[in-house]
Structure 1
């Protein structure tokens, strides 16, 4: 079985946990990502897997383990499943809306079309961003990035990107190297694909 099929085929991640991810009632208290043990065959270590139906991002580790982070994902058909690689990494990245974003919501994004927004706490990309590329398209304009709005985690609200709270993206950013494989799995539920946690 190919590694890319490990989730789609219905293999599950098991319940070895060291804590629960997310933001506690006091939003200043951030709970660390937790570790799960995956059922074999599992993907190679050093890969990012996003399961949008579960609102979870998995960073695969050696010996069949993975770190798990809660995420938000793209709303409706703005979420794009596929296989990508990390083509760029930026700390406190600047942000410019895509033409599609401006077309969909000009009242919200048109003012940033020419100048964009410099990096900083109020920037939509948050503290860090991983830029997703494919060999055919180059930069896909999809990102895995931070957000200062923890209330959006666990929801399908973005313009297509996967978002983590800023402390989690800072942690993930330090772990994920350039050219790492990233799989954004399909939104539709698939039989037996539950990932515990």
Structure 2
């Protein structure tokens, strides 16, 4: 049996639309999506929330105590994501701008991290096993990033050395929505 390209395209579109429809709950609130490379969805689903703030759309607000990242959309709305934050002694606050964005970034642990963990590799190519995950959003000239993680169970916990972890699925979504130069406000 031969199936035309148009029929295949229609079937793929229908399957995609059905899968995307599952990302919204009964109230029409975005809540996660499919698992990314079988690594697991976030234990804290992404959702659209009411967020009355006087920040420009595209601004990122990180609430360290809440372990949430808000992407301001405007009109009193924001996307809220679950994140992993710095453990005790590694939390920080301030205002920065997004200075770079990288897909499947390579990782070179900073010397401070190597001093604590000499077992770490000195360099790791980008890829699914890389601790920076699928995307990295660099914060000013700091060593810190908002990046993916292959450990979704760490989302919602204080586990990092100061970076903000997201599931690969969520960091890909955020990456597609933000621009270099956007403001990032970290509240500790």
Q: TM-score, normalised on structure 1?
A: 0.74
Query: What's the secondary structure of 1:103's corresponding residue?
Result: helix
Tell which deviates more after alignment, 76-85 or 174-183. 76-85
Which of 1 and 2 has higher RCO (CA within 8 Å, sep 6+)? Answer: 1
Q: Distance in 2 between matches of 1:23 and 1:75?
A: 28
Query: What's the secondary structure of 2:179's corresponding residue?
Result: coil
Distance apart, 1:43 and its partner CA: 1.8
Relative to structure 1, the CA distance from residue 27 to residue 130 in structure 2 (aligned partners, 3 Å threshold; closer, same or farther) is closer
Other-structure match for 2:143: 141
Structure 1 residues 35-74: aligned runs within 5 Å: 35-39=48-52, 41-74=53-86
Q: Distance in 1 between matches of 2:181 and 2:111?
A: 26
Q: TM-score, normalised on structure 2?
A: 0.77
**Unaligned residue ranges in structure 2 (runs of 5+):** 1-26
Relative to structure 1, the CA distance from residue 82 to residue 130 in structure 2 (aligned partners, 3 Å threshold; closer, same or farther) is same
Q: Please identify the structure whose Cα radius of gyration is greater.
A: 2
1:21–1:70 CA contact under 8 A, matched in 2: no
Q: Distance in 2 between matches of 1:131 and 1:29?
A: 23
- 1:138-165: CA deviations, max 9, x gaps? x211000000111100000011100100
Other-structure match for 2:139: 132
CA RMSD of aligned residues (A): 2.3
Q: Distance in 1 between matches of 2:30 and 2:177?
A: 19
Does 1:182 pair with 2:184? yes
Match for residue 117 of structure 1 among 108, 118, 124: 124
Other-structure match for 1:164: 166
